Structure 1
Amino acid sequence: MTIIKNNIIYDQQKQLATDIYFPNNTDSNTKILIFWHGGGWFRGSKDALKSIGVSLANAGFMTFIPDYSLAPKNIFPVAHKDAENFVNWLLASDYTDPDDHKNIVQIGASVGGTLAIYLAGKFAFPTVTWSAPVEFSSWMEKHYHVKPSPIAQEEFGLTDRHDINDSFYKYFTLTYTGTADHEVLTKLDARSYDLDQLSSLLMINSADELTPLNSVLDFIDHLAKMDKESQLMVIKGHRHAMDYGKEYLDESIDFLHQIIKRQK
């Protein structure tokens, strides 16, 4: 059975916690995986991800699933800084050895994937994202007429899936930034992150979903111009992040294992 430690505090001041899932056989070769939950930076929790944590532990990863501060009480860049603080806590904790930096990998779902990209640029962790939004500033300029809502179908009577997605995209973006100021939105764009240390990245996205595929392609092109290693897997349909995540968990794990093996 997987051993689980719940609610291990990593930020005493904010009382932010992580759950930890230990594989059956933990030794010096055990790899560490951080899973970042989604939810548009305004909802979501580690508590809904027990089955993911167990699956990752069964795949041989000591798995950490942290919470982070949520909007609108906490606006950009608070969640990003919480994620960075978690990594610094982890590296200094009893759960890692001094040379474990090279043993850490990540998976991030939706905006959890955006946070994972931010951290990958700083810490060089091999990373998989599921439907990570990466573009906000130019998207907002192109969708100035869209009314934001987390429930656009009920609130505005929208029936077209794309219109509903656009309304939600604008809602969670503005809820996290707390402003439509272009300068702030640009700082939230993934291409604005410090990506100097980015190593290996696999992005998984549906062909027609909440996260615009053209924005992901633009980001992949941006990484290529930086001579950074990235892969994009486009799956058919319109599911977003956790809607398909469990079905592509094996592909995500295989990618991370290959990178780990290559780095030895």
Structure 2
Amino acid sequence: MDIYSRDVSAEADSDRAAIVLVHGGGWFRGDKSKEVSLATKLVDAGYIVFAPNYREAPEHTFPASKEDVLTAAQWALASDRAFDRTKLAFFGGSAGGNLVVEASIATGRPAVSWSGMFDLLAIVEQTDDLPATPTTQDLNAMKSADINQTGRNDAFLRWTILDEVGGDRSLLTKASTARHASPTGGPVFLANSLGEFVPVSDARAMQAALAEVGVASTLQLIPGTHHAEGYTEAAIGPSLAFLHDVFSAVRA
């Protein structure tokens, strides 16, 4: 885990909120070290940021990554780092966007999800006429903001999902976040581009599932094909406003 912090004073530090920042990478690639830019923006906004790694497919399949994100949050809450324990949220994009909503459902904490994948079963069923094809992009060499920026790639999206469940389609229902929204989950901010890698219908399905159980959410739809951190400049302001509002409600 990497920790990003700017200490101000004992009083201010103990009152600040914390963010567990979860990297993307299709559950099979990615690393906390790529989150420096986004973590710095969050620190500049007054947060302490915990950026963990998590176990990745295919060696470790669902639900290993979700379990690790929850463990990271528990570690942060039990640590000696100064922040208000009532004010912790999850923030992530792409596969990280999936994992933070899973964590929100499990803990009741807020989450900001950029381009998360949520109804994995539906995506796989809708692409059954396609092969599951890995990407030709060199993901390890690319910045997070440069990955999957050219629009839909359903064969690769299908591949990432099936890889996350080790090819076991019987796990897809349990792994589909939109199918187990809970009334005890935390509020969620969702962002998605209209023509991006993850179909916008998936973000809408997640919002509908949250509404069905009475959980508040905000959905920002962004023009173009940018994916997750590729639309940081468009989404960071609304995301920070959402976090400010939910944490202000905690103080009230």
Q: 1:202 & 1:231 partners in 2: Cα distance?
A: 5
TM (norm. structure 2) is 0.87
TM (norm. structure 1) is 0.84
User: Is 1:146 paired with 2:130?
Assistant: yes
For residue 227 of structure 1, report the CA deviation from its aligned partner: 1.1
Q: 2:239 & 2:181 partners in 1: Cα distance?
A: 24
For residue 193 of structure 1, report the CA deviation from its aligned partner: 3.6
User: Which structure has the larger Rg over C-alpha atoms?
Assistant: 1
Q: 2:8 & 2:217 partners in 1: Cα distance?
A: 31
Whichever residue aligns with residue 174 of structure 1, its letter is L
Runs of 4+ aligned structure 1 residues displaced above 6 Å come to none
- In structure 1, what is the equivalent of residue 27 of structure 2? 41
Whichever residue aligns with residue 131 of structure 1, its letter is S
- In structure 2, what is the equivalent of residue 82 of structure 1? 68
Q: 2:159 & 2:54 partners in 1: Cα distance?
A: 19
Q: Which has the higher strand share?
A: 1
Q: 2:212 & 2:184 partners in 1: Cα distance?
A: 15
- Contact 2:181–2:213 (8 Å) recurs in 1: no
Q: What's the RMSD between the two structures over aligned residues?
A: 2.0
For residue 49 of structure 1, report the CA deviation from its aligned partner: 1.4
Q: 2:153 & 2:175 partners in 1: Cα distance?
A: 19
Whichever residue aligns with residue 93 of structure 2, its letter is A
- In structure 2, what is the equivalent of residue 57 of structure 1? 43
For residue 180 of structure 1, report the CA deviation from its aligned partner: 4.0
Q: 2:250 & 2:73 partners in 1: Cα distance?
A: 20
Whichever residue aligns with residue 255 of structure 1, its letter is F
The percent of aligned pairs where both chains have the same amino acid is: 29
Whichever residue aligns with residue 138 of structure 1, its letter is A
Q: Which has the higher contact order (CA 8 A, sep 6+)?
A: 2
Q: 1:96 & 1:115 partners in 2: Cα distance?
A: 25
Whichever residue aligns with residue 91 of structure 2, its letter is I
Q: 1:199 & 1:82 partners in 2: Cα distance?
A: 19
Q: 2:26 & 2:116 partners in 1: Cα distance?
A: 10
- Contact 1:120–1:195 (8 Å) recurs in 2: no
- Contact 1:107–1:129 (8 Å) recurs in 2: yes
